[in-house]
Amino acid sequence: MTIHWIAIARTLGGLLLFAGAALLAPAGVALGYGEAAWWSFGGTALGTLATGGALWFGLGGVAPQDKDLGIREGFVIVALSWVVLSLVGALPFVISDVLPSYTDAFFETMSGFTTTGATIFGGGGNMDIEAMPRSFLFWRSLTHWIGGMGIILLTLAILPILGIGGFQLYRAEVPGPSADKLTPRVRETARRLWLVYVGITAVQVLFLLPAMSGFDAINHAFATMATGGFSTKNGSVADFDSAYVDGVITLFMVLAGMNFALHYRMLRGKAITVWRDTELRVYLGIIVAATGLLVVSTWSVSGVRLPVASEAQTSFAGYDSLGEALRYGVFQAVAIITSTGFGTADYEMWPPLAVGVVFLLFFCGGMAGSTGGGVKVMRHVVLAKNALNEFKQLVHPRAVLRTHLNGQPIAPAVLRNVLLFVVLYILLLFLGTLALAALGQDLWTAFAAALSCVGNIGPGWGTVGPTENYAHLPALSKWILSFLMMAGRLEIITVLIVFTPAFWRR
Amino acid sequence: MTIHWIAIARTLGGLLLFAGAALLAPAGVALGYGEAAWWSFGGTALGTLATGGALWFGLGGVAPQDKDLGIREGFVIVALSWVVLSLVGALPFVISDVLPSYTDAFFETMSGFTTTGATIFGGGGNMDIEAMPRSFLFWRSLTHWIGGMGIILLTLAILPILGIGGFQLYRAEVPGPSADKLTPRVRETARRLWLVYVGITAVQVLFLLPAMSGFDAINHAFATMATGGFSTKNGSVADFDSAYVDGVITLFMVLAGMNFALHYRMLRGKAITVWRDTELRVYLGIIVAATGLLVVSTWSVSGVRLPVASEAQTSFAGYDSLGEALRYGVFQAVAIITSTGFGTADYEMWPPLAVGVVFLLFFCGGMAGSTGGGVKVMRHVVLAKNALNEFKQLVHPRAVLRTHLNGQPIAPAVLRNVLLFVVLYILLLFLGTLALAALGQDLWTAFAAALSCVGNIGPGWGTVGPTENYAHLPALSKWILSFLMMAGRLEIITVLIVFTPAFWRR
Ligand SMILES: [K+]
Ligand SMILES: [K+]
């Protein structure tokens, strides 16, 4: 059984047609604002459309039919999709000289499409975010939004077919693994999820409009719904200095970190079944608990500060009012757990307990089937339930015990898949840390950069902290982090399987 | 089915008798050197023997027979053993005013019995290690040696009966879980392992004698074979400044990090089956690979330094000769992977690549059934083999694939046990980090201290780095770290199961 490379090439050709069409949008924005950069988008779009068209139509007669596309072709296509999109999407940055280095441009674009939001740009100097042409600000946000939509389709419609992700629990909403593969039913699921995604984005734009320009509202809505985190401001969301904006973005980050199948169910009026979802309850519970700890730690009641809010290490003076502590606490808790990475406060300067809480949130992640990255709440739930079950089994060695989630037994295959994911996640995190340290970063920064990128969060710690950026890293480190972003975004297994001998044998 | 508390109390009484006898040894050392501290050991020994005797003989008629001791009694006894030993063993420190704070004394003693080697003492001032009475230096080493022996018996003879540890693969050497529980056969296994342990320790003393005093040789042999790491010198092993001493200790650290069942097999002349052991090959392979990377990174060929040995961050000048780089590299690689924690170099000052390698070794650990702590090589092997198998399964969904280790299939129960361990290890690491950060440590130090203690390594990073100590931590942090040391030493599951509701129900 050989792999049908021609079919893969044709599918990627289709993806290029899509990318070319997408590039016309920033070209239009550039023309609208009278920016000279329009041709760097327009030219890239033309070349991309031509290449894509040649592959798609040229191979139309040669390529095997859809039914010949098997699991292995699926893995190759998924793994290559984000690479192809980023290779093409990086070109306008270089052509227009906004980012002269192709390495930087690729990093920025991969960071966009993977909804990571780690950026080469930083406040000040040549790399001033606000000095960038608006068409590039829009393109960065659009890569987020496209990537976010892509990941929802992937995890809820395509990966279950490939047997990946531990999300087979949601098969009720999507077709099972079957002979008919990419059937009309998948297309129908995709269409509905797309409508939900577009709808919520539009509502967020409306909510943001009273407090910012239409351009900023669209860009921040794109970055929020994708849990991306690119901002049009040097100081991220903090620059709006508005409790209203913070509140709206917090709310929509929470929505973006939820399983989109739940949104769809909710719209169909099944709110009660949504509320019964265990993962949702844990997700909201973590947000509430983390916010509580952050408030306790950062709120400076006049004269009375808790010992956990010790100022020993930082110059952070504490928030004067409960409202302020709550506003910054909940925003940052949600920004990190959902892996959005927006900032309204420099969490590295917070008191020790708050710093510890934010650090733990780096390992949490949003819900399965959301646009959020990281480990995902679902996997933590499965691991916790399994751990409690194992303890019971040790006390009662002869009992036959099963673990349930939302009333259904957790299949052994799901558990094994979660285990595999966690092992590979840690492996990538550690190899990434080692590589970045070897290339000159201090260990803490190396660890934080690898963690932030594999979890698609964006900001890290140390010299890639929330007030810093990734520009100063050596080129090879940027390529390594680009790979980590892609692997993390595609649930890791999908990417690494292509590197195993078993995949290519026979 | 209630728990037989009386039987548990009687067993712990027996343990106190043993502890009382052990305390007579440092009392003898104190008398021999004419130290006033002899009565603090003698007095504690008397009190301990009296209490232990009262429990053991007083409850002899009341307590149920051995056959009534079930799995749950076993867990409680194991979890309480290290606590009881440390509660008692800490007393002489306080009585003699060597460590006026009971918190410090308990931390130091738990660190000893768990073979962690994290210490309150540091070079200089009141806390000068070399200014301590020799009887206390000996007691610290003896707690290591007793703890090391205890852990070998526990993992190779007792935990398999309780269904813990994922080491059931070695059941050939030890009795299976059976109705006869603590049978003569367990005693026979224990006796043989004890002989091996004593024998190798004696050989190491002989090897060390040419280069140091008999007192130092015995203490360092105790600390080496237990992978403990307490030294009688302020500057640890570096103070001997001898390539011969470094070499001998490196060799015996490697032996101490090996499964003692393999040593026993080797002594029975089955060297070939030992060499075929997969875990042993991986263990040695990691040591060779890590040493290679450390040499590449720290060796300064005159004028020609590899880019990975960049001096950007530290004042470390590099080792002039290959021999020197090898000597310090292999020592530190082995000291960390075996979780001994001895130091001949300040790895925090090494170049970035070396720092990254040492950091990764913190997550490795020795072999199962050794005195080494950490995750253990066995678990990494099981996880890696399972990961490769899962990849194969994804490519061939309908195939029935099994994972093998040393020619035998890996039982699903073993895999589940490994998974549970890893989940709990990470959980403890993270909760420990959060707690220590909340109590005022910077995040990096908090993470490193939790990691070093749960892995029973000793030195960490930041303000608990290899040239620092744990004295400056707040009292509550010391108790938390003491708990982490104990949990890590007892394979975590053994300790945490006692905190689950399922354990106490029915
Ligand atoms: K992000
Ligand atoms: K140690």
Q: Which of A212-216, A346-350, B20-24 has the lowest mean pLDDT?
A: A346-350
pLDDT of residue A235: 86
Strand boundaries in B161-212, DSSP class E: none
Six-digit token pair at A219? 């860009």
ipTM of the complex: 0.86
Q: How far apart are CA B428 and CA B480, in angstroms?
A: 10
Q: How far does residue B186's CA lie from ligand 2's centre (Å)?
A: 27
Q: How far apart are CA B22 and CA B144, in angstroms?
A: 12
Q: Which of A155-169, A325-339, A442-456 has the lowest mean pLDDT?
A: A155-169
Q: How far apart are CA B392 and CA B401, in angstroms?
A: 8
The answer to whether B25 and B138 have CB atoms below 8 angstroms apart is yes
Question: In Å, how far is A421's CA from the nearest CA of chain B?
Answer: 9
Residues in chain B with CB shorter than 8 Å from the CB of A400 are none
pLDDT of residue B125: 57
Q: How far does residue B228's CA lie from ligand 2's centre (Å)?
A: 4
pLDDT of residue A397: 74
CB–CB of A353 and B438 under 8 A? Answer: yes
pLDDT of residue A293: 94
CB–CB of A434 and B497 under 8 A? Answer: no
Q: How far apart are CA A380 and CA A363, in angstroms?
A: 10
pLDDT of residue A71: 76
pLDDT of residue A63: 59
Expressed in angstroms, the distance from the first to the final Cα of chain A is 6
The shortest CB-CB distance from B423 to any of A387, A416, A442 is to A387
Question: In Å, how far is A318's CA from the nearest CA of chain B?
Answer: 15
Instruction: Give the residue on B whose Cα is nearest the Cα of A383.
Output: B423
B116 is in an annotated binding site: yes
CB–CB of A163 and B461 under 8 A? Answer: no
Structural domain spans, chain A: 5-170+182-264, 406-503
Q: How confident is the model at residue A174 (pLDDT cuts 50, 70, 90)?
A: very low
Does the pLDDT value for residue A308 go beyond 60? no
The shortest CB-CB distance from A433 to any of B72, B164, B359 is to B359
Mean pLDDT of chain A: 86
Does the pLDDT value for residue A86 go beyond 90? yes
Residues in chain A with CB shorter than 8 Å from the CB of B493 are 391, 394
pLDDT of residue A180: 37
pLDDT of residue A301: 60
Does the pLDDT value for residue A344 go beyond 70? yes
pLDDT of residue B431: 95
> What DSSP character marks residue A400?
-
pLDDT of residue A309: 45
Give, as residue ranges, everything with CB less than 5 Å from ion ligand 1: A 117, 229, 339, 341, 458
Does the pLDDT value for residue A227 go beyond 70? yes
pLDDT of residue A68: 60
pLDDT of residue B173: 35
Question: In Å, how far is A503's CA from the nearest CA of chain B?
Answer: 6
pLDDT of residue A59: 84
Kindly report the CA angle at B102 between B97 and B104, in degrees rounded to 5?
90
Instruction: Give the residue on A whose Cα is nearest the Cα of B309.
Output: A438
pLDDT of residue A361: 96
Residue B318 CA from chain centroid, whole number: 31
Does the pLDDT value for residue A6 go beyond 70? yes
The shortest CB-CB distance from A395 to any of B72, B353, B435 is to B72
HSE-CB of A72 using CA atoms within 13 angstroms: 20
Q: Which residues contact B175 (CB under 8 A, 6 or more apart)?
A: B157, B161, B183, B185, B186, B189
Integer angstrom CA distances of residue B348 from A430, A435, B320, B383: 18, 17, 19, 29
- Proximal ligand: closest to the CA of A223: 1
Q: Which residues contact A243 (CB under 8 A, 6 or more apart)?
A: A323, A327
**Percent of chain A at pLDDT exceeding 70:** 89
Residues in chain B with CB shorter than 8 Å from the CB of A162 are 394
CB–CB of A308 and B438 under 8 A? Answer: yes
CB neighbours of residue A21 within 10 Å? 13
HSE-CB of B139 using CA atoms within 13 angstroms: 37
Q: How far apart are CA B119 and CA B105, in angstroms?
A: 10
Of B31, B101, B439, give the one whose Cα is nearest residue A308.
B439
Q: What is the mean pLDDT of residues A293-301?
A: 85
With a cut of 50, which residues of chain B have pLDDT below it?
A: 165-182, 303, 307-312
Q: How far apart are CA B338 and CA B350, in angstroms?
A: 20
Q: How far apart are CA B423 and CA A382, in angstroms?
A: 11
Q: Which residues of A are documented as binding site? A: 115-116, 228, 340, 456
Size of interface A-B (CB pairs under 8 A): 163
Give, as residue ranges, everything with CB less than 5 Å from ion ligand 2: B 117, 229, 339, 341, 458
Q: How far apart are CA B258 and CA A6, in angstroms?
A: 52
Phi, psi of B403 (to 5 degrees): -100, 140
Q: How far apart are CA A444 and CA A435, in angstroms?
A: 13
Going A500 to B375 to A283 to A470, the CA torsion angle's sign is: negative
Strand partners, A319: A299
Q: Which residues contact B221 (CB under 8 A, 6 or more apart)?
A: B201, B202, B204, B205, B208, B252
Q: How far apart are CA A337 and CA A341, in angstroms?
A: 9
pLDDT of residue A178: 37
Q: Which residues contact A204 (CB under 8 A, 6 or more apart)?
A: A217, A220, A221, A224, A225, A248, A252
CB–CB of B360 and A424 under 8 A? Answer: no
The answer to whether A482 and A108 have CB atoms below 8 angstroms apart is no
Residue A288 CA from chain centroid, whole number: 22
The shortest CB-CB distance from B387 to any of A297, A420, A437 is to A420
Q: What is the mean pLDDT of residues A70-74?
A: 79
pLDDT of residue B167: 46
HSE-CB of B101 using CA atoms within 13 angstroms: 15
Six-digit token pair at B334? 């082995």
The H or E element that residue A405 is part of is strand A404-405
CB–CB of A356 and B434 under 8 A? Answer: yes
CB neighbours of residue A402 within 10 Å? 8
pLDDT of residue A310: 47
Strand partners, B404: B409
The answer to whether A387 and B420 have CB atoms below 8 angstroms apart is yes
Six-digit token pair at B174? 């030890």
Strand boundaries in A213-268, DSSP class E: none
Q: What is the dihedral of CA A439, A440, A445, A447, to 10 degrees?
A: 40
Residues in chain B with CB shorter than 8 Å from the CB of A392 are 500, 502
pLDDT of residue A261: 85
CB–CB of A422 and B417 under 8 A? Answer: no
Q: Which residues contact A215 (CB under 8 A, 6 or more apart)?
A: A134, A137, A138, A232
